[in-house]
């Protein structure tokens, strides 16, 4: 069967749940139907995979790999596809980065004919199976696949070999404010810390608690306890009805002016002689 015929079936039909094993066979040149052209290509002509879910790479591990490559070379070729703009990486970004760090000008590669959907799937699955993604990277990758491939959570779960419940729980992280997502990417917050944050009613509450978690190094259990605490709303000051309110209201209606009443006096305000005479007439105390 030709490469295009097999690839047209989609990765799920070809690879099943053993994508990592199949990638290994392709890179070793032993996978039937996937013997792409094997060649050395310039490192600077390989563009990153646009669907790479990994946002951060451990620099210490990259340096270890670069040191190994400087001494022994690259044992396993990277996978690329050819485009009008040059080569585009399918799998093997750590090896490519390490080669650049080791000042290698070329890298051995296998050129395959993959479409965008297959590149997206293989990038996600390779990273999940071969080297665990940060939980936030995984959430972003799942959302990208759902949006671009129009998948249901159930279909996505089948593609990546996870339960639908796992997919649903991870996807909820995408609802967190960007500042908290960055904290998770930077490994300041764990999935255990993030899960209770999602239940809060406002972004302001989420961010405030996330910053407190980092500052005070709170445990997951402590965060869960804080979130479960009932929200105590500040009591509104009780407005007491003044004992003379009804009297004041009645007098102000009658005299059409401001009236003050206390325990020992009544004060009726007036403006000018005409207003005073008006009040005197109302009180029937004006002289004839």
Q: Which residue, among 178, 55, 171, 38, has the nearest Cα to 108 in the 3D structure?
A: 38
Averaged in consecutive runs of 10 residues, what is the pLDDT profile of the chain (288 residues)?
Answer: 40 50 64 68 88 76 88 85 86 88 91 80 68 81 84 85 88 93 91 91 91 92 86 58 77 84 85 81 71
Q: Which domain holds residue 88?
A: 3-115
Give the pLDDT score at 236: 63
Determine which one of 24, 64, 88, 93 is catalytic: 93
Structurally, the chain folds into a number of domains equal to 3
**Non-local CB neighbours of 80 within 8 Å, separated by 6+ positions:** 41, 46, 87, 88, 89, 90, 109, 110, 111, 112
Residue 125 belongs to some domain of the structure: no
The number of CA neighbours under 13 Å toward the Cβ of 32 is: 1
Q: What's residue 102's pLDDT? A: 92
Which candidate, 37, 51, 45, 121, places its Cα nearest to that of 79? 37
Residues 92 and 25 in one domain: yes
Tell whether 25 and 111 lie within a shared domain.
Answer: yes
Q: What is the pLDDT of residues 200-253, one digit of tens each?
A: 988 999 999 999 999 999 999 999 998 887 655 666 665 455 677 888 888 888
| Same domain, residue pair 9 and 108 | yes
205 shares its domain with 251: no
Judge if pTM exceeds 0.75: no
In this structure, the answer to whether residues 16 and 86 fall within a common structural domain is yes
Residue 70 sits in the same domain as residue 110:
yes
85, 19: one domain: yes
Residues 203 and 257 in one domain: no
Q: Catalytic residue at 93?
A: yes
């Amino acid at each position: 069967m030709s490469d295009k015929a097999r690839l047209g079936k989609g990765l799920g039909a070809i690879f099943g749940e053993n994508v990592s094993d199949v990638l290994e066979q392709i890179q070793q040149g032993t996978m039937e139907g996937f013997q792409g052209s094997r060649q050395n290509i310039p490192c600077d002509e390989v563009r990153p995979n646009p669907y790479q879910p990994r946002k951060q790479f451990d620099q210490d591990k990259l340096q270890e790999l670069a040191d190994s490559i400087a001494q022994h070379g690259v044992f396993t070729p990277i996978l690329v596809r050819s485009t009008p703009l040059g080569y585009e990486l399918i799998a093997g970004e750590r090896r490519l980065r390490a080669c650049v760090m080791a000042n290698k000008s070329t890298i051995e590669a296998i050129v395959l004919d993959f479409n965008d959907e297959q590149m997206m799937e293989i990038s996600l699955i390779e990273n999940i199976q071969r080297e665990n993604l940060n939980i936030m990277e995984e959430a972003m990758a799942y959302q990208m696949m759902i949006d671009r491939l129009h998948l249901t959570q159930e279909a996505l779960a089948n593609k990546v070999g996870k339960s639908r419940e796992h997919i649903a729980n991870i996807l909820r992280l995408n609802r967190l404010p960007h500042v908290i997502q960055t904290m998770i990417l930077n490994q300041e917050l764990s999935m255990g810390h993030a899960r209770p944050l999602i239940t809060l009613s406002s972004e302001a509450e989420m961010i405030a608690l996330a910053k407190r978690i980092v500052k005070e190094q709170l445990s997951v259990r402590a965060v869960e306890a804080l979130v479960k605490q009932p929200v105590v709303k500040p009591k509104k000051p009780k407005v007491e009805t003044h004992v003379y309110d009804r009297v004041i209201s009645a007098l102000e209606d009658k005299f059409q002016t401001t009236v003050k009443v206390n325990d020992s006096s009544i004060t009726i305000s007036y403006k000018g002689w005409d207003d005073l005479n008006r009040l005197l007439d109302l009180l029937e105390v004006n002289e004839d």
